[in-house]
Structure 1
């Protein structure tokens, strides 16, 4: 049976219904979405011509509060599939659950030069195919908040994620931007040339880049502990396939039965708002926090009848659409989020299938 947030007088143990507000989850399940969030000081990208396999290379760079410069460099093929290259061991381990997206661990060099009003960044790394990649992006003008906002990902990796990429200050790449692969240069074409002599190339230089994403993945885990009665201090403990423990704890509760649940297991810092219905939760909102577990990051909300909204970088309703949930007689259920705005997000429908048999659970997320 499929419902779309229809009100019901059914009891709290009837998991075949959802209310006018929130998602009614199976017992023992706290947070079914595979959410990622990264806040980086810098994002650089160049689109180039002439290579038989690749058409773009980019890098997201983070320094604040880290012992090392953390980098995710991405190669995009002509068929729009992407390969991630990360220099963070934890990020590499977490990425192995992603569906349809290859991630490799690499040492990555970053050099910054130029003047503050015309910055320039160079990124060097060894690709997954052992090619020497060098990306140099020179800003065509001072990065400007007026050129910030939401990025359209185009057709890049359409089945691996629903990404919300928010630019703080941005500008076009300018002369001096280059892409070298095994020391061979590939042309970064002109995007704009004004009569006054301004030249902008097919790339971007962005300061303060925040990205939230729902990832396609399959996560299998054991439910090691769940509360018989949910109250403040109650906890859920899961053991992942790699033995990693995940713990969610009720940290706040009001008289109406609405609770706040927090998790700080490993790098997965999350805050969840829900209503109690027996041993089940009605999920109202999920927030994936930033690296320091304090800054607001990526939020998925269920604000009204059959609706969802996603917020990133303190901007609300960046992606909005319809939401529904299907409960099956075998106890499995499937959540569907169908984006409607912005237009490019409509092709990235999210489906989350939850199956639990005894203490064994699996959550599979597909995109597209």
Structure 2
């Protein structure tokens, strides 16, 4: 949750938010307004099912902690494409704060085994409504890198997330795969039927990385801002029951600043000081203590942005920053790939004294009626 601003006073009408060079120029007092998420997972399992009055899919993103226990985000998808997260981890619960996405804490049971030439996993949890949910998936083969690649999220959560997902190796679900909700069994439809080969609409992935910009609202209070843009200077904010510190760690010969979040190891910002504001060129989120890779939101060309994971650009498009009715409005409009085009990101930043607020919405507005 990174809606962070600096300084005092409202945005005035004489401030110019120019995007004439690489990077995106932020108004005075704005540091990092994007709700970025990044996570590496050891496994992703999923199945679509038919016949339930409310739900059409269940999935889980799973990573193993140092003690060998799983950290799990289990997701139910409704017919209206909205999703509900069920998490068994305090860190995952914290990621739900402030976002426009249902999240609840649950105990989640998981059993995984490698069978000869295939995989099996059984996931069990109680839904947000108290319904017992079981996903029991057996694959038709071993996970294959040829079935890896970028995942298309389809129309899932179109107004709450701009997601990026990459599979290392995947396998399709076999006929033994089952889904139960509330004690009732629901069919997993056939996806491929060719002679003796039958695969169902389910997936088992080994090696999965996930990144996203989330929709949501966050407010913080500014306590300290840098006296000057120099190494060692800090921004200090209070909000959401915690103190957040951002420190200038490096200033290169060309004036580029590297700003790192002390409360969020792995998050960093690259920017140039421009007047009273910053020209942001890159925001990075790492995971698991790795020194490189991760999620990068970059503004390497004037009026353009890109989102990359582990150095692979997945989403790109136009970027714009402008003043509107006393607020700063940042708009990221994806143009590639096709599935991302409808998920425009709009961040509206405002302040009331030392209270600083950023509201992120996702999705394009319908065209005006004549």
Q: TM-score when scaled to structure 1?
A: 0.91
Mean Cα deviation higher: 21-30 or 41-50: 21-30
Residue 259 of structure 1: which of 257, 260, 274 is its match? 257
Shift of 1:73: 0.2
Alpha-carbon distance in structure 2 between the residues aligned to 1:54 and 1:333 = 38
Shift of 1:343: 0.3
Q: Is residue 215 of structure 2 the alignment partner of residue 219 of structure 1?
A: no
- Decide whether the 8 Å contact of 2:152 with 2:339 is kept in 1: yes
Q: TM-score when scaled to structure 2?
A: 0.90
Q: SS at the partner of 2:156?
A: coil
Residue 322 of structure 1: which of 318, 329, 348 is its match? 318
Shift of 1:256: 1.6
Q: SS at the partner of 1:292?
A: coil
Mean Cα deviation higher: 217-226 or 321-330: 321-330
Alpha-carbon distance in structure 1 between the residues aligned to 2:217 and 2:271 = 24
Aligned residue number for residue 93 of structure 1: 94
Q: SS at the partner of 2:91?
A: helix
Aligned residue number for residue 78 of structure 1: 79
Alpha-carbon distance in structure 1 between the residues aligned to 2:303 and 2:275 = 23
Shift of 1:313: 3.2
Q: SS at the partner of 1:79?
A: coil
Change (3 A) 1:29 1:292: same
Aligned residue number for residue 247 of structure 1: 245
Alpha-carbon distance in structure 1 between the residues aligned to 2:65 and 2:113 = 18
- Decide whether the 8 Å contact of 1:40 with 1:209 is kept in 2: yes
After TM superposition, which residue ranges in structure 1, 4 or more long, deviate above 6 angstroms?
Answer: none
Aligned residue number for residue 9 of structure 1: none
- Decide whether the 8 Å contact of 2:19 with 2:302 is kept in 1: no
Alpha-carbon distance in structure 1 between the residues aligned to 2:299 and 2:67 = 34
Q: SS at the partner of 2:30?
A: coil
Aligned residue number for residue 334 of structure 1: 329
Mean Cα deviation higher: 167-176 or 334-343: 167-176
Alpha-carbon distance in structure 2 between the residues aligned to 1:294 and 1:105 = 30
Shift of 1:303: 1.3
Shift of 1:268: 6.0
Change (3 A) 1:41 1:358: same
Aligned residue number for residue 170 of structure 2: 170
- Return 5+ residue gaps in structure 1 as ranges: 1-12
Partner deviation per Cα, 1:182-209 (whole Å, 9 max, x = no partner): 22111111100222x2211101111111
Mean Cα deviation higher: 148-157 or 110-119: 110-119
- Decide whether the 8 Å contact of 1:164 with 1:212 is kept in 2: yes
- Return 5+ residue gaps in structure 2 as ranges: 1-13, 364-370
Q: Is residue 306 of structure 2 the alignment partner of residue 309 of structure 1?
A: yes
- Decide whether the 8 Å contact of 2:224 with 2:235 is kept in 1: yes
Partner deviation per Cα, 1:239-258 (whole Å, 9 max, x = no partner): 11x22111111111112210
Residue 276 of structure 1: which of 270, 273, 277 is its match? 273
Change (3 A) 1:329 1:217: closer
- Decide whether the 8 Å contact of 2:323 with 2:329 is kept in 1: yes
